[in-house]
Amino acid sequence: MQMLGTAVKGLDDLESLIEPLQALARRHLSYGVMVDDYTPVGNALLYTLKAGLKSDFDQQTRQAWIKLFSVVATVMREAAYPEFNAATYVNQKAITIKASTQYWL
């Protein structure tokens, strides 16, 4: 969560976030984080923000957070999984869960 705070503060200089995000991704490998684990984390973040911000969590705010977390997750996935390709990636966890659930990443 600390890295998300850093990401928000670094929105004006996204390039400065690349190296810290890459290092974080490599550390996550030692915790057993898999490529498909980023989606449920992003969804949990969205849920938490919606619950906390209530009516202030409008569609524009939601889309901004989705965009930010998508960038963060892509940078981290590319660092941790050299074979990762965002253009062709299909999250296998999202496929196995109810079709009515919305997944964004």
- In order along its 105 residues, the chain shows pLDDT tens digits of 566 666 666 667 888 889 999 999 999 999 999 999 998 899 889 999 999 999 999 999 999 889 889 999 999 999 999 999 999 998 887 665 544 455 555
Tell whether pTM > 0.95: no
Locate 35 and state its tokens: 């490529």
The residue assigned the tokens 């990762």 is 84
Is 43 in contact with 104 (CB distance < 8 Å)? yes
pLDDT, residue 100, reads 47
What angle separates helix 38-53 from helix 59-80, to the nearest 10 degrees?
150
What are the distances in angstroms from CA 21 to CA 33, 62, 71, 102, 103?
14, 22, 10, 26, 22
